Amino acid sequence: MPALAGVAAAFCLAPQALAEPSAAQGTAHHAVVADASRLGPTSTLLSVIERAMQHQASSSQPSWYTVRSGDSLASIAGRAYHNQNAWPVLYRANRSQIHWANVIDPGQVLRIPVEPARIPDPPALTDPASASAAATAAATAAATTAPAAVEGGAAGGSFGQCVIARESGGQAQVMNATGHYGLYQFSASTWAEYGGSPADFGDASVGEQNQVFANAIASGGQSNWSAYDGC
């Protein structure tokens, strides 16, 4: 009977402790754990509950991982989330130090955030080879579609072509998971700041996008892109 009572107490206390941690529940939890030594086989169940509570507490916080030789974002996501397709989570969380999604270096310390309910979309370009091909295509498209107002380097010249290649791959109407839009992946605030019509955000012509980008560059706005794209 004492053992059965202990099991019942463990099942009653564990959900409360996992749901709403409080001083009272903490005291009750430690009391139950302290009783493990006299409950015999029941101590195994209490040990499982203890580990589950510790895992619940730790899983709600981000962690860190040091890249080793042979690692990829997909393999790290497989270990962290048991889902290799969740690698865009790691890419977005470490955007300041990962330039290409398929290129990470041993020794880098990556932030491993809690897995979100929705996995963000992967970037359009993941390595230098694909960017080079996209840059050629974007330059050709810009030469044939850009209006006179942005020809001759007014939209940033080679810098603008580099941004297009690395941000959108020449896809003028692409909207990514974080709400950045168009050839240059404007945020809504940057778009409006440099003269873009809020009503057109998400459905602007190539000419309008080039003009807003030209306005940004003329105002010294390269920093809106250079820090992220390496252009």
What is the spatial distance between Cα 228 and Cα 231, in angstroms, rounded to a whole number? 8
Examine the domain organization and report whether 55 and 67 are in the same domain: no
Domain contains 117: no
Examine the domain organization and report whether 43 and 88 are in the same domain: no
Domain count, the chain: 3
| pLDDT number for residue 33 | 45
Among 22, 43, 59, residue at a domain's last position: 59
Domain contains 121: no
Residue 80, pLDDT above cutoff 70 = yes
pLDDT digits (tens, 9 = 90+) for 116-127: 999 888 877 666
- Three-state DSSP class for 197? coil
Domain contains 118: no
Among 72, 87, 112, residue at a domain's last position: 112
Contact at 8 Å (CB) between 62 and 111?
Answer: yes
Nearest partner of 164 among 135, 190, 207, 186, judged by Cα: 135
Examine the domain organization and report whether 210 and 149 are in the same domain: yes
| pLDDT number for residue 68 | 94
Domain that holds residue 175: 128-229
Among 15, 43, 59, residue at a domain's last position: 59
Contact at 8 Å (CB) between 114 and 62?
Answer: yes
- Three-state DSSP class for 8? helix
Examine the domain organization and report whether 222 and 134 are in the same domain: yes
Domain contains 183: yes
Examine the domain organization and report whether 160 and 215 are in the same domain: yes
This prediction's pTM: 0.37
Examine the domain organization and report whether 136 and 204 are in the same domain: yes
Work out the angle at residue 72's Cα, subtended by the Cα atoms of residues 68 and 76, and round it to the nearest 5 degrees.
Answer: 80
| pLDDT number for residue 34 | 47
> 124 to each of 36, 107, 169, 212, 228, how far by Cα in Å?
55, 26, 6, 22, 14
| pLDDT number for residue 50 | 59
What is the spatial distance between Cα 50 and Cα 36, in angstroms, rounded to a whole number? 11
Examine the domain organization and report whether 221 and 135 are in the same domain: yes
Domain contains 209: yes
| pLDDT number for residue 5 | 47
Contact at 8 Å (CB) between 124 and 172?
Answer: no
pLDDT digits (tens, 9 = 90+) for 173-231: 988 878 889 888 898 988 998 899 999 998 899 989 999 998 888 887 777 776 666 77
Examine the domain organization and report whether 75 and 23 are in the same domain: no
Examine the domain organization and report whether 141 and 185 are in the same domain: yes
The amino acid that residue 118 corresponds to is: R
Domain contains 120: no
Examine the domain organization and report whether 85 and 36 are in the same domain: no
Examine the domain organization and report whether 100 and 20 are in the same domain: no
What is the spatial distance between Cα 61 and Cα 55, in angstroms, rounded to a whole number? 10
Examine the domain organization and report whether 101 and 157 are in the same domain: no
